[in-house]
Structure 1
């Protein structure tokens, strides 16, 4: 019997050597996407870790993010924020300085430097009015002939957008108790509220930007041992806050 001859056809193998550079290309693309993602929020530590990882992957040459020195890129987001904050702070300061200049001009034109002062503080623009000018002793009603001070100041502090304003009342340490006020706390806060109400007759001001406080005798700026010192302590203060800052006690 004749044996059937088995034909062993030679199998042709497809050259797959092209897969190697193709795989390298995919790795490079993956690396590129990772770099783009990481660079959207630069972090020095993560940046160095990614660079080291890629250098390991592509050993035999320099890392894809290798720098000519050991210096790691600084986190620029912080410095940018600091620059923005500094710029905003300078702008806010200029705005308060402009308001102060208007008030100072009013003081000079009306010869009010003995009863009305301004000062730029860390909190904002502080405008101080001697209480004795506005109120009779033991009273929280502003004298009619002195209401013009509150009205004029209300015009001078108008800004766009409106700034927050805190009106505060202060007294000396002489005790008071009558049918209207139990103590200096009551007197000081009522004076602040009454002064604020006159200012808010100006419709260019926003009531929601205002608040009133009473500190009684507990924030003196002079000695209560003398009459002149007590006169300085009896005062109303208008604090104009920088843009974006509000009364945190509300």
Structure 2
């Protein structure tokens, strides 16, 4: 009699324990895709909160999405645009402030020029002194015969009053840089005191500047003296009148604010 085998139900049932980790894996993948999708639309603050939430949910002890690069959107983008607008506003404000300072400077120099012109007219210096205001400076031009004897760098006693008067007017505008420049004609000079026109123009500029600086209210650090000799003529040296025009001392009041679009290039006539 054949012996019947008893079937074991447990042996015929398929082991489905693998479904548990498989389901967990699918859950994690779904969560990953949701996060990747959300990254394109959430701002940095919300993304950080989401990262922390997933870290807690997965119980890993560390942020699953820590150190992940985020495309800047939302709040960060708005902040960047606000910073840009703020920078543009500050730039506009600085431009307006500079324009106001330029306008004030223009008014100051026009006022100083008017004072100088009135002094020149009142004291009969119209043929010996000249003032000119352009976009870089206010310049006072004084003929050498007004200040010096021929071949000398000593300021005439009667001309010292002129230097004092100019100094008193400059005192009202103490913040400007002042350059005193000496010029000669092209006639060579060679004496015991001056070996060349360089020395003559230098000493004339320095001596006139020293008289200006007798005024204790003037800031010496804003003054300088330069010598050009015969090399920056304003007229032809071919005539006596031209050479007389080239022999001069210039007092230059330099602008602090220059509009580069309006700067005039001073042409230097050739001989």
- Specify the alignment match of 2:244 in structure 1: 231
Q: Shift of the alpha carbon at 1:39?
A: 1.4
Instruction: Answer yes or no: is 1:196 the counterpart of 2:209.
Output: yes
Contact kept? 1:162, 1:205, Cα under 8 Å: no
| Alignment partners' CA distance in 2, 1:130 and 1:161 | 25
Instruction: Answer yes or no: is 1:35 the counterpart of 2:78.
Output: yes
Q: Shift of the alpha carbon at 1:134?
A: 0.7
Q: Shift of the alpha carbon at 1:244?
A: 6.4
Q: Normalising by the residue count of structure 2, what TM-score does the alignment of the two structures yield?
A: 0.65
| Alignment partners' CA distance in 2, 1:132 and 1:113 | 13
- Specify the alignment match of 1:184 in structure 2: 197
Bigger Cα Rg: 2
Q: Shift of the alpha carbon at 1:198?
A: 0.3
* Structure 1 residue runs without a partner (length 5+): 1-22, 44-73, 246-250
| Alignment partners' CA distance in 1, 2:234 and 2:135 | 17
| Alignment partners' CA distance in 1, 2:156 and 2:251 | 18
Q: Where in structure 2 are the equivalents of 1:207-218 lying within 5 Å?
A: 207-218=220-231
Contact kept? 2:174, 2:218, Cα under 8 Å: no
Aligned length in residues: 196
Q: 1:152 aligns with which of 158, 161, 165?
A: 165
| Alignment partners' CA distance in 2, 1:188 and 1:161 | 26
Contact kept? 1:100, 1:118, Cα under 8 Å: yes
| Alignment partners' CA distance in 1, 2:172 and 2:256 | 10
Contact kept? 2:102, 2:257, Cα under 8 Å: no
Contact kept? 1:168, 1:192, Cα under 8 Å: yes
Q: Normalising by the residue count of structure 1, what TM-score does the alignment of the two structures yield?
A: 0.70
Q: Where in structure 2 are the equivalents of 1:59-70 lying within 5 Å?
A: none
Greater helix fraction, Structure 1 or Structure 2: 2
| Alignment partners' CA distance in 2, 1:160 and 1:150 | 16
Q: Shift of the alpha carbon at 1:105?
A: 1.2
Instruction: Answer yes or no: is 1:135 the counterpart of 2:178.
Output: no
Contact kept? 2:205, 2:226, Cα under 8 Å: yes
Q: Shift of the alpha carbon at 1:162?
A: 2.5
Q: Shift of the alpha carbon at 1:228?
A: 1.0
Instruction: Answer yes or no: is 1:99 the counterpart of 2:142.
Output: no
1:142 partner SS: coil
